[in-house]
Structure 1
Amino acid sequence: MDSNTQSCENPEISSTEEQSQSQSQVSRSPFATASLSLSFLPTTLPTQFFVHPKILSLFASQSPTKVKVPTQASSLSSLSLSSTSPSPSKYSFKSTFANNPLQSPLSLAPRRPLDPSNGAAIRRASIVWFRNDLRVHDNECLNMANNESMSVLPVYCFDPRDYGKSSSGFDKTGPYRATFLVESVSDLRKNLQARGSDLVVRIGKPESVLVELAKAIGADAVYAHREVSHDEVKAEEKIEAAMKEEGVEVKYFWGSTLFHVDDLPFKLEDMPSNYGGFKEKVKGLEIRKTIEALDQMKGMPSGGDVDTGDIPSLTDLGLNPTATMAQDGRQSVTATMAGGENEALQRLNKFAAECQAQPYKGSKDCSRDSIYGANFSCKISPWLAMGCLSPRFMFDELKKTANRTISATSKRNDDSSGSPGTQMNWLMFELLWRDFFRFITKKYSCAKVGTAPATACTGALA
């Protein structure tokens, strides 16, 4: 009978011979080595490995020569055991797994995604820290957190350091601006609630409030938009330091300008210090597409029992409510401007309708009769400053209006009117100035950059 056949039919004889051979090898050398190859059998093992008769009897109903093993064996191509102890009486063994398709050790703990674009990379809970981006449309920060997380906790902090008196004796945040901000935060909460979420509001330092909330809900990451001023950049550094100690990732995004900072044809530290140079550099630069608002958001984290909090009043912020009233008891014109995303979109629609109803009829060099009316202003800057309105969204909406106006003008074939496309030229001119000031502020808010002054007026109209 063939020896191979005999060993397969009688596994006990084969296993006994193998044990005697291995024992003789160990007695001759203090270093023992055993090697087992599984590459020839990805999901099954011969029954020789189960040398005990009782173990063999458990698998009698299955194949007489093969037995199923856990599926983890399919990921193993070689297993080697080697002793490295110099003493014959002490043995230490080392296992090596080659060609493992998992590419990383198995872990029972939740895995944090290394690649957010991976569909399987889902965070347990995330915090969205709202700052000067009080909107749900064109909000990359909010959208990414919603896509990458099982639950999202939107948060806004009224930082006490932003209120009170400055070193020169003036209010850091006046009553009019504070009122506008409170209304914008209240409107943001309503928009989030309409999408199945909510907004947590706190009065306190973000580096303390966010850490407390992250611990309460077991957050994996904090999502936020970057800002440009010195104090805002310092706040970001404090947040990063506090979250690093807690093992929470901080992910920043850019969403406050028409052009994205990553799309600029130069490094921020090399940005021209005059508007003319900046305008030439970004000529022909493509504007990113507007991000649509979410129809439905992930729910709030169930753990932690977090209270959403109340929207503060001016008194809560240390301001005098009567300061917004005129001496005759009536509110000023500024006080009648309601804050919030909904108000911003209504004003934009109204402004777009005015642009379409009154096409440009001035000279082609835009020297008079601009689309901005008598005051040469679209009066939307407060909502842009608070982030209630995205500059990209504003540009896209007015671009649609300009295209409709151009189409209507071409049908009328009215040669007496000027080019309606100059409406977009005026809009681009204003938004470019806004971009320039934000980028130049960001450049010089970094401590590593020199202190050369920016000259906005030099070559501004070149």
Structure 2
Amino acid sequence: MKVMIYWFRNDLRLTDNPAFVDACLHADFLLPVYIHSPQSKKIHALGFPRESDHRQAFLRESLDDLRGQLRNMGSDLLEYAGEPVKLLSQLVELTGADTIYCERIEAPEEIHQCQQIKALGISLHEFWQSSMLSLDKPPFPVQEMPDMFTQFRKEIERAGLKFESPVTAPSTIPPLPKLPEALMTKTDHPEIASAKQWIGGERNATAHLKQYLERRLPDSYKETRNQLIGQDYSSKFSPWLASGCISARTIAAELAAYEQCYGANDGTYWLWFELMWRDYFRFLHFKYGRRLYLEKGLSELPLRLSDDRRFDQWRSGKTGVPLVDAGMRELLQSGYLSNRMRQIVASYWVYDLQGDWRLGARWFESQLIDYDVYSNQGNWLYLAGRGTDPRGGRRFNIAKQTQDHDPQGKYQSLWL
């Protein structure tokens, strides 16, 4: 009888989760687990947590939703707090599990965890499943992909590629293995207050996507995506995408069905275009790996040593520049920031305050409920001129951005 463990990471869903489907097909008994790593509780030297209350609250909601779905199918989700490698090795020993299944995450910390598990002689099956395209589908090996996004996208489009078809949720889930009583004890979950603009979980993600399409909002996406206030100016898929409550392939497939019904337009194309940026930052990790996490990134630019006082002013929204301060206060209070404002505040930190891009990236990691390791690292490198773009960084003229995107000061008034 095969006992297997499914280790949920950033794939907190049942639909279009090939790794979980495969585990269900091959296991007689399956133990679904989620592990809260001590890394998530770390405090930066400058005094802020690696994961803010906003991030933790969204995760809590997502895990509760996943547990509810698993219980509806006769299974459960067990949560533990501690070092993943140690806990998983203990679970393997105590349950007699043959194999651990999990999502593959191509970032340094996550790769190291899996290497340590394999070094213990444990069979670990990793599935790459967070991109629209499969690794083997692009018309080039991902290790040799074009550096420039435009070239990357054009080659994808020339090959006629759009997305990989999503897989359905498993129809049945193997029963839980018999566990010692101590292993059935779950971690305590204190209530965490957060803004309720987004509620975590696959069922909420599905409902959000459904209403977005039913209201024909893709049609106006390209025209409204740079706005700063409101719910509907952009898709707001990102919080659920980041935690894996919904997959990029599911969204792309629903967009394709929408186009079949209503016709393609600039808005539907631009939503796919943004998902392609997401794939691009993921695939870059297969080409450059740890080099993306070096202090200098991929460049030879000199490092900047940040002034702690200036960083505190920037992150708390007290720089004295109204548009920047409004953005930083929205981020602090809501855990979210529009794409346009992310670029504006990041540019101000890197170029106007001469700040260390790594500190900015870590602040975003701490605060954003839609934090995604690939996109966060890729966007900061791109903006700071330390990524693959040969044209260098992206400095924004704050006065022009204010005039273009908040000429009447409504956004500034809202947050200041």
TM over 0.5: same fold? yes
Counterpart in the other structure of 2:99: 221
User: Helix, strand or coil: the match of 1:219?
Assistant: coil
| 1:265 equivalent in structure 2 | 139
Q: Distance in 1 between matches of 2:179 and 2:225?
A: 55
In structure 1, what is the Cα distance between the partners aligned to 2:210 and 2:390? Answer: 32
Segment of structure 1 superposing worse, 282-291 or 156-165 = 282-291
Alignment of 1:199-214 (within 5 A): 199-214=77-92
- Identify which of 186, 189, 195 aligns with 2:73: 195
* Other-structure match for 1:22: none
Q: Which amino acid aligns with 2:282?
A: R
Q: How far off its partner does 1:458 sit?
A: 5.9
Mapping for residues 421-436 of structure 1, pairs under 5 Å = 421-436=265-280
Q: How has the CA–CA distance of structure 1 residues 374 and 185 changed in structure 2, closer, same or farther, with 3 Å as cutoff?
A: closer
Distance of aligned partners of 1:180 and 1:343 in 2 relative to their CA distance in 1, 3 Å threshold: same
Partner of 2:371: none
Q: Paired residue for 2:206, among 327, 340, 345?
A: 345
Counterpart check, 1:387 vs 2:244: yes
**Equivalent of 2:223 in 335, 343, 368:** 368
Over 3 Å counting, the alpha-carbon distance change for 1:359 and 1:207 in structure 2 is closer
- Cα deviation for residue 369 of structure 1 reads 5.8
**Unaligned ranges ≥5, structure 1:** 1-122, 316-320, 325-330, 407-419
Count the aligned residue pairs: 299
* Change in CA separation of 1:232 and 1:354 when aligned onto 2, cut-off 3 Å: same
Structure 2 counterpart of 1:156:
34
Helix, strand or coil for the counterpart of 2:183?
A: coil
Q: How does 1:47-196 map to 2 (within 5 A)?
A: 124-196=2-74
Asked whether the 8 Å contact 1:402–1:423 carries over to 2, the reply is no
Greater RCO between the two (CA within 8 Å, min separation 6)?
Answer: 2
Q: Name the amino acid aligned to 1:455.
A: T
Determine the C-alpha separation between the residues in 1 that align with 2:293 and 2:47: 29
Distance 1:456 1:300 in 2: 49
Structure number with greater Rg is 1
How is 1:224-303 mapped onto 2 (pairs within 5 angstroms)?
A: 224-242=102-120, 244=121, 248-283=122-157, 284-285=160-161, 287-302=163-178
Is the contact between residue 275 and residue 457 of structure 1 (CA under 8 Å) also seen in structure 2?
no
Contact 2:222 2:267 in 1 (8 A): no
Q: Could you say what the CA RMSD is over the residues aligned between the two structures, in angstroms?
A: 2.9
Cα 1:382/1:456, change in 2 over 3 Å: farther
The correspondence for 1:455, drawn from 388, 395, 408, is: 388
Aligned to 1:445: 289
Structure 2: runs of 5 or more not aligned: 299-385, 393-416
Q: Secondary structure of the residue that 1:296 maps to in structure 2?
A: coil
Q: Which amino acid aligns with 1:221?
A: T
Matched letter for residue 395 of structure 1:
A
Q: Distance in 1 between matches of 2:88 and 2:130?
A: 22
Q: Which amino acid aligns with 1:429?
A: F
% identity of equivalent residues: 30
- 1:149 alignment partner AA: A
Q: Helix, strand or coil for the counterpart of 1:146?
A: helix
Checking the alignment, whether the CA contact within 8 Å between 1:290 and 1:392 is kept in structure 2 is: yes
Q: Distance in 2 between matches of 1:367 and 1:351?
A: 14
What is the alpha-carbon distance in structure 1 between the residues aligned to residue 9 and residue 78 of structure 2? 13
Residue correspondence of structure 1 range 407-426 to structure 2 within 5 A? 420-426=264-270
Q: Aligned to 1:201, what secondary structure does the other structure show?
A: strand
Find 2:262's aligned residue among 405, 420, 438: 405
Distance 1:148 1:134 in 2: 20
Q: Is the contact between residue 218 and residue 271 of structure 2 (CA under 8 Å) also seen in structure 1? A: no
Q: State whether residues 224 and 234 of structure 2, in contact with CA within 8 Å, keep that contact through their aligned partners in structure 1.
A: no
SS in 2 for 1:434: helix
Mapped partners of 2:173, 2:208: distance in 1: 26
Q: TM-score, normalized by length of structure 2? A: 0.65
Distance 1:439 1:448, change over 3 A: closer
CA deviation vs aligned residue, 1:206-231 (integer Å, no higher than 9, x gap): 10111111111100000011113222
Query: Cα deviation per residue 1:158-191 (whole Å; 9 max; x = unaligned)?
Result: 0011222124433111110011111111111111
| 1:310 maps onto 2:186 in alignment | yes
- For 1:256, the aligned partner's letter is S
Shift of the alpha carbon at 1:263? 2.1
Where is the helix percentage greater, Structure 1 or Structure 2? 2
| Aligned counterparts of 1:185 and 1:128: Cα–Cα separation in 2 | 14
Displacement of 1:370 in angstroms is 7.0
Counterpart contact for 1:258–1:435, Cα < 8 Å: yes
Q: Which amino acid aligns with 1:444?
A: Y
Deviations 1:66-98 (A, max 9, x none): xxxxxxxxxxxxxxxxxxxxxxxxxxxxxxxxx
Q: Give the Cα separation in 2 of the matches to 1:382 and 1:441.
A: 21
